[in-house]
Structure formats: C-alpha cells, structure tokens
Amino acid sequence: MAGVYGEIDSRADFQRVLGEAMAITRRILQQRPDNETVEVIDTQLDAMTRWSTAGRDPTQAERKTINVGLIAARELDAGANSESGVLAQKLHALNNYFEDWPSDQAASSATDDDFFDAD
C-alpha cells in the first residue's frame, strides 16, 4: 500500500482498481437500478476510463471534475464489511490518484505525509 493512493502504485494498478470499482457499481445497479448515488459514481468512473484509456493523461480540468472520493465519504461506509465498503475504499484511492495523476515512481513511493505536505 502506498499511503494516500491505497492499493494503487502505478497506472496499471489504477486501471485494475478502476475496473474493479466499475464491476462493483454495475453489480449494485443491477440489484438497485434506482440508486442515484451509485449512478453518479458509475458515470464518473466511466469518464475516468475514457480520459485514461490507452495511456492518455487526463487534463487538469478533467481531473478536477471527479469527486467520487467525496461521494464515497458522504454516502458509503468505507469501514463496512460489505461490497459498498470495498467500493468506498477503492473510490478514495481512485479519486486521490486521479486528482494527482502521479508518475509510477511517485505513486509507488507516496505516503500520507507527502499528501499532507503538499497542502
């Protein structure tokens, strides 16, 4: 684990975690298609996918439009032993990584102290 980016230590990890989060949101939406919170999360994850596919670097403006971490903090219980808890943890890591869009080297060595020092 790399601190603020959770299980994400590289762009490849980002894509993997993004895919896992999307799979969870789609399963939740199949069970509860009227879940507006998860619909918003799904839409943002789809945008993150489009903006980072095939090695594309998302623009700073694109990176600022994503707030799945905030949604997760407000609407999901990251401590819950459930699918939504797992999703919340992934969303926090994805949001932090996407917002910063670090190099693989920076991501693999990042700590929470780096994040707090940047503010």
pLDDT in tens, 52-68: 999 999 999 999 999 99
Rounded Cα distance between 49 and 52, Å, is 5
Q: Domain spans of the chain? A: 3-118
Rounded Cα distance between 115 and 105, Å, is 15
**Exposed / middle / buried, residue 10 (Cβ in 10 Å: 0-12, 13-18, 19+):** middle
For the chain, list residues with pLDDT below 70: 1-3, 111-119
- Contact partners, residue 110, CB within 8 Å, separation at least 6: 2, 3, 4, 5, 102
Rounded Cα distance between 78 and 111, Å, is 20
Can you read off the two tokens belonging to residue 88? Answer: 């919340």
Identify which of 87, 106, 100 has the alpha carbon closest to the alpha carbon of residue 40. 87
Instruction: Determine the length of the chain.
Output: 119
Task: Give the pTM.
Answer: 0.88
